[in-house]
Structure 1
Amino acid sequence: PSETTIQGDSVQRTVVFELQYYRDITFRIVPYGSQSGGTVTINSE
């Protein structure tokens, strides 16, 4: 699988992905400042 790193800052951003299958992506969030990190997986609604 491929991995893409998105460098963030203190400004809120919206990221849009186009995927063939939503379950194929996992977000790994690194802590920024006092924010917590974690891993987010996309689930169907």
Structure 2
Amino acid sequence: MKLSDTMPSGRPWFGQLMGIPQLFACLIQVNYWLEENKIRIL
């Protein structure tokens, strides 16, 4: 079963707030913040 099969709109769960480009921008910003503050996720 795919996630898209569970979503009636066919959009990803984050589609209400942002599209794919905005998601990547957010992930890049989070990555920068984690590296800048030397935070490690184990």
Structure whose residues are more often helix by fraction: 2
- Say whether the fold is shared (TM-score over 0.5): no
The structure number with the bigger radius of gyration is 2
Structure whose residues are more often strand by fraction: 1
TM-score with structure 2 length normalisation? 0.18
Larger relative contact order, structure 1 or 2 (CA cutoff 8 Å, min sep 6): 1
